[in-house]
Structure 1
Amino acid sequence: MLFLLIGLHVVCATVVFLVGSRLGRWVWPIAATAPTAVVVWLLVNAGAMSDGGAVSQKSEWVPGLGLGLDLRVDAFSTLMLILVSGIGALIFAYAWHYFGNSPSSPRAAGLLTLFAASMVGIVIADNLLALYVFWELTSVTSYLLIGLDDTEAEARSAAQQAWLVTSLGGLAMLAGFVLLGQQAGTYTISEILTAPPSGTTTAVALMLILVGAFTKSAQYPFHSWLPTAMVAPTPISAYLHSAAMVKAGVYLVARLAPAFAVVGPWRPVVVTVGLVTMIAGGLRALRPFDLKQLLAFGTISQLGFLMVLFGIGQPAATAAGCALLLAHGLFKAALFMVVGIVDHKAGTRDIRELPDLGRGWGPTKAVALLSAASMAGVPLLAGFISKEQAYGALVDRSGFDRLVLVGIVIGSMLTVAYSLRFVAALVLPDLVSPELTDRPPARRTPTFWFASTGVLLATGSVVLGVAPRVWSGMVDAAAHALDPGAHAHLVLWHGLTTPLVLSVITLGVGAALFVLRRPVASAQARLTFPVSGLQGYDAVLRSTLGFAGRLTRIVQSGSLPIYAAVIFSAVVIAPMVAMVTGRWWPGWPMLIGTPAHLPIAVVLVVGAVAATLIGRRFAAAILLGVVGYAMGMLFVLQGAPDLALTQFAVETLSVVVFLLVLRVLPDRFELRSTTIRRPLRIVISAAVGVFVVLMAIASSGARTEPSVSGEMAEQALPRGGGRNIVNVILVDIRGMDTLGEISVLVTAGIGVVAIARVGRRRPADPVHPRRRRRTEDVGAP
């Protein structure tokens, strides 16, 4: 059934791509079928996960590599699937109003559905390598989603940046997965967490895995891709950056932390990166005038908060992380929807240009107020419950954990400040941007149905805040699935406790920061960083491309003899070193099979030597043909007439091609070879020839397993329907290989024809460097 859930997403996406152009906005109900089905499945199977159980399904994919499509859903996976599919279904409904009958609607719906399938795969994968496959699929689909408007250079640049950062992190993560799997002796995640390995190799593997998690969840210093990704349409931002993609790294850390938090540098690295991200992102969220940029940096800050709670690897913090994970998905998705409504109806999301959002904007403002209040941690809302749980997890501890608590409180104060800034921008924009003294009323107002999905999410924050028992059991089960010692007890009133006092102080100081926003802004303006996140990305990209260019100029000299010498030298040296330093072949096969082989071998050798010594190109081509025909005769003697015919045909065609080319070349070979170059060519050529012979002998005598050729001969007639073994191998047993080789030859032939027919090219138009809009909303540290 788990495979069907992923497959249903693919089917829905395929239908949307095929018939979406004729359906207009109605593609969104079709696309929403898949995430809705996941939610229904969760409701039906909730009992199996609530008591510590799990639903699993296994299928071998590549057993030799330990790669299996092992899927597993436990209580924590259920919590994540509620975000990915539950909130995802609401975002699909929101997109129905946002995109309308736009020409991009089918493409957006199909890609979002494929992205949802990838995220579901990440959440339920129980194999490290399978998880990596789904991980990279999210990178590919997010690249296409961020660059949905591929006519805009800014969208293409942002998509490229997101893909490069997350994919490079994914490569590091893959290396970590391989090391961890080898150390554990299995790639099954549940088995690794049950008996986690230790040691230096494990520590290295975990650091590599963390690089992948940090890049995906936009942690400092890999955060710059997320603000630039705000060029995507708002439904895409709401899904990718509140409920799905950016949570993937947090999910991975949450899975691994209970087992590996005590290993080496895990805890200090994760906590330090998370705190820096939380505080730096909060500071940066106080500056943008673009509402979407404000939410982007706020998201970065909240992701740092989640990374700290899960990464510290303590049961109480894990439970708090599970609570915040759900609360954040509710309020952040709703806030993104509000920004989309404002941008869609008011024509701008710049605070300095916002019109007066008066009559007709009540539901939208209510959603903004409730969701921002939940983000700030105001009592009676889900955000308050989760934040108080986080304070309570660290307040009674000492040493390092106390420092972590101080950092979280500072970050939460900044969260209050930018939450107030967001609400004020919609309700009283003059408080944030007094430059525009006369704000005309908005020309269009949103319908209630446009804001209805945001209303549902904001209502969820209220219900979970007022009645925490509603979700206490689900959070407790999720935390227990991660760490058997973790338990969540969510209540509205714990009494007059230290966490409550810290919550009040957080709200008070955060409000003061908003009241003192001008002095704070002046202080931030004076506090400059030598390199911003975007500038760092650009510098790394330019350096990489520059190094690649310099390296290409060195190794791509344009000389075919040098290329051939380098290739053949590598072919000889690398295996010979392995053969000399390792074990030699165990035995030698017979060099001569029958007396008839000897004269043909003599012809072959004489022809090859003569081809290297003769000075005329035409004669050398003919001698090469003689060598090929001699090889074909060896095939005849070995009982492979079809193979011999193929060899004869190839040699005949090769000689014809040689002769056609030789018409435009000098009659004789060049004699410009120096006293050093000619002997060097002879040495390399002789070494390649000797090496090929020795490798053939060594390979035939070093077999450790029975040859498959006997089985091929036995199965050629009953399964392949042919008496010619060679034909059966090429057409049936290795049919796909043959098709690939044919495709390569056809492609090469097309290339040769194109090169032969190309005329003199006109001077190319100058390529202008990429122009990227750099505003104060994007170029941030």
Structure 2
Amino acid sequence: MLLGGYRALRQWDLKLVLAYGTVSQLGLLIMLVGQSDRAVALAGIAMIGSHAMFKATLFLTVGIVDAATGTRDIHQLSNLRRSMPFLSVVAGLAIASMIGIAPLAGYVAKEAALEGLVHEGGPRSTALLVVLVLGSVLTVAYGLRFWWGAFSRKHGLEDTPTDREAWQMFVSPTVLAVAGLATGLVPALGERLLAPFADTYPTGDAGHLTLWGGFGLPLYLTIGILVGGAALFWWRGRDSGLQRRASFAFDAEETYRRFMRLLDRGAGFVTSLTQRGSLPFYLTVILLVAVLASSTAMLTGDDVRLGDVRAWDSPAQLAVGAVVIFGAIAAARARRRLKAVLLMGISGYGVAVLYELHGAPDLALTQVLVETVTLVVFMLVLRRLPTYFSNRPLADSRWLRAALGTAVGLVVSLLAIIAVNARTATPVSVNFPDEAYDYGYGRNIVNVTLVDIRAWDTMGEISVLLVAATGVASLVFLRVRTARVERASDLAGERLGGIWTEGAAGGDSLVHLQRKGMPHRAGRPSNPGGAEHAATGERHDNTDPDPRARSMTARWVDSTTNALRNQRWISAGATLAPQRRSVILEIATRLLFHTMVVFSVFLLFSGHNAPGGGFAGGLVAGVALVLRYLAGGRYELGEAAPVNAGILLGSGLFLSAGAGVVPMLFGGTVLQSAVLELDGGPLGEIKFVTTVFFDIGVYLVVIGLVLDVLRTLGSEIDRQGEAEGYVAREISHDDSDPDEDDDAMVAAENGSTAGGAR
């Protein structure tokens, strides 16, 4: 507190005067709030409010002065009270509150602090009282220095020219300065608002906020503070010389910089040892520490019991478990990326079957849907990645990784068994079904837990989903993300688009439709063996086709344009290359899409009492969008969901947050649920739980997330590939032995056809 005030007197920059003054004021606030006395604590919390008002006013004043004059240097500012009289009055009110002049809020708070310390008595309170008085003297001195430096006339210095600033800049400091005056005039209101906080302190009498506390030591100290501070300010010339002559061998700023340089060097040394740029190394360290820490806890624990362990309850669980293990081992040995992804999918779907066999259909449904979406994301990313993984690690390294993986599996399994057998009280699951219905009005305890009991966690999770989707989009999109959604109908309109047709030479060419009224032309002409070039990802030749092929293409474009105008959905015939089309998938999509959307809505509204909910329903709707994209490409995705994904994400989060705020308007708590029972006539009794609005928000967020992934990793990568003249190669997969994959990779790298290379 004292050091900050002393340093404020040495500054010539108005902003630095306030900055060091803030350091001093923070010391005062901590000193007051840190006391155990109720009266002093009340003064401290009142000082926090007054400090916020007058210090914000002064910082805004500095900003206005800097904008109007181009400087904050006291040496260059002179007589601004003439050119900016209104601002000088506003700043004067804030300064008066800061130094403790009645009847402003700062005076009320400081008087309460003096009264509380005087009344408390004792050596500690006396010492704090002395520090408070000395610090307040410094506050008066640098407060007067601030106003003098900014607004008074200085000898030998011409009036500082100013620019006229917009009146809106003066609104905020004026409101804050007037608020400091208004709260000082009605201290009883502030006391009524702040007394509950002061009552939490254990000792002392309840203090009071008042404009007049009578004659006594606090009043005399206030007068002495003002006189002493004014004298110190008047003596500022000699004081500045004294400060310049005073030198300290210890420089806190230089010490801090040296410490930070030493810390940087130490961090660089540690980073060079641990951050080696190798993901396998990072995972090895993390998993090794987890294994060692968990093993130590299990070995040294006092009451570690394994209890009765059953390997399985039915032969079906054994069979499914074997499939899961096989998929995991085969995925670890696979050399082709696609094979590894599919094998991991087998393990994931196997886990879903285990959930179902254990009697958890809700978890099984969610696992299946999440695994499906994950597989789609992997497939979209694999289009731009090499077919093979990098070279296999050395044999010793492989054995070490296998041993570490086995150790992690064993430790996690043992932890689960020990945790179950360590329970001493009755499990919450015994009464959970009844309590979930009484508390959340639902029979599905999983959904009730997510949207009611731990709704705050769910709110945080969907917020993370929104941030993750935004991050992925920011990394992938090379143009404005809020661009208009590309739809198949645009190909028949005025916007530029791309449609595939068969060239004269039997290859594939991407035909660009020009703006209305302009002739059609081939954006990428046909090339011999176009399908093979498309499969290898090579660029197409830029030579123009012959006139006959051009006219044939133009006629085909005209016919396709008319078809697009009349076609409602699944426009894959006009927007996808022939080798990318799947008639079976198109027919399946026509049959399944609407059913899946309706089923997703059913899961949304039935999830409170049956398997489902907003998360599962959103995933089903997302998988339906995946089908539309796979069947018809990016234009068909635009037809299926002609809305920006960010709107769905934001609307879902807003709806979920709103569902949590609305109960407060009716006297409830945040995210509290209620049940409405209605007579539906022929439909019977209808029971409506308000948490459905929260679930709808989750539903929209999940759909928005899947749509954003499809737009970024799917449509946008497709568009970028077309702009670059690049066609993503077909990802092939065979059932060859994992060891043969290495031979195929080597053969492919050497340009050979041996070893099964394509």
Q: Give me the TM-score of the superposition, normalised by structure 2.
A: 0.46
TM-score, normalization by structure 1: 0.45
Q: Which has the higher helix share?
A: 1
